[in-house]
A = this chain, B = another copy of it.
Amino acid sequence: MGTLSIKIDPWASLEVKDYGEAMKEFGIESISDLYKKLPIKHHYFSRGIVFGHKDFGRIVEAVNQRKPFVMMTGLMPSGKFHLGHKVVADMIIYLQKLGAECYVAVADIEATLTRNIPREEAKRIAIEEYLLNYIALGLKSKKTRFYFQSDGSVEYNNLSKYVSKKTTFNELKSIYGDLTPEKIVSVFTQVADILHPQLKENGGPKPVVVPVGLDQLPHISLTRDIASKMKSEYNFVLPSAIFNKMIPGLQGGKMSSSKPESYVALTDLPEEVEKKIKKYAFSGGRETVQEHRAKGGNPDVDVSYQWLTFFEEDDKKLEKIYHDYKSGALLTGELKQILIDKLTKFLKHHQAEREKAKKVLDKFILKD
């Protein structure tokens, strides 16, 4: 893995101020040119929210040649499904539209081992918080394999054991810092999650892409390293990854399930969300209206504006908000109201879709 001067901790979320710096440091390539070759557009790419990749070229090729490829993601069944999770879900669904077969792993083994979440509780959270929201956001059951780590096939489980031979304590320590036996088992299970779509029983070697935040880079690098050492036995294609910027927490810093004042959950009532944003959203505005009108606000640090870069798909509208806020024409209260209106509309629609989703749950969890 080399020595990382920017400490990346896959066991906690992370805020990266300078993504350009991080890309250089971690050998992540810019995605802007590859993105242009994709047949469907997404503002996360055009705006640099998805900013980099590893080996995404082979995914673009598969899309354009209509060859099989896989989107692989894992979810930690703990806490509320919030806007940060939505960003990943949007990428999952976008990749499904591009033709990916979607593997969605519920990390219930990991939840039990590293967070003491009982298996049944993990199952409930995975379905009620994650799956229902995925479906409401547009995930289709066709070509989706939603599975629990604890329901894995025998070859998946064997793979999670065989990978142990392809790494060392030193490599694991350089990535994860302090190790415990259960962390190691969790890591190997996660490596098997990413590699098992390429097992013979799943159709053999093929391109796989994992959409992740930069905090997951060490997992990706370890998995690629292990995959390269298993070529002769499994002939794995090295998994690809795309990296997205994290949506900031309401008060700046990271959005975290353990800090309710940092997130908006997709099941929050619109009235609660309005209150939260008015009370907590970190503002780039000036101390007084007079000063704001005279000197203008700073959209680059304003959380409401940052959130709109994720949710306002219309480039022109977004640009106008940026300039109006910067010039002082748009006040902080007005900017917050734009976000509130946007989120209210989204949440009302989403929560209705989520109710409908309950009726199709079976298609996802009773398959096979």
User: Which residues in A have some Cβ–Cβ distance to B below 8 Å?
Assistant: 109, 112-113, 150-154, 157-158, 160-162, 164-165, 167-169, 172, 179-182, 184-185, 188-189
Other A-B pairs, 15, CB within 8 Å; known A109-B158, A109-B162, A169-B179: A112-B162, A113-B161, A150-B154, A152-B154, A154-B154, A154-B157, A160-B161, A165-B182, A168-B180, A168-B181, A169-B180, A169-B181, A172-B181, A184-B184, A185-B185
Q: Which of B109, B157, B167, B180 contacts A152 (CB 8 A)?
A: B157
Give bound CA distance, A113 to B166, whole Å: 10
Q: Which of B152, B153, B165, B181 contacts A164 (CB 8 A)?
A: B181
Within the complex, the shortest CB–CB distance from A185 to chain B, in Å, comes to 4
Q: Which residue of B lies closest to A158 (CB)?
A: B150
Please determine whether B161 and A185 come into contact, CB atoms closer than 8 angstroms: yes
27 contacts between A and B (CB under 8 A): A109-B158, A109-B161, A109-B162, A112-B162, A113-B161, A113-B164, A150-B154, A150-B158, A152-B154, A152-B157, A153-B154, A154-B154, A160-B161, A161-B185, A161-B189, A164-B180, A164-B181, A164-B182, A164-B184, A164-B185, A165-B182, A167-B181, A169-B179, A169-B180, A169-B181, A172-B181, A181-B188
* B contact residues around A189 at 8 Å (CB): 161
**Copies of this chain held together in the complex:** 2
* B contact residues around A185 at 8 Å (CB): 161, 164, 185, 188
Please determine whether A181 and B161 come into contact, CB atoms closer than 8 angstroms: no
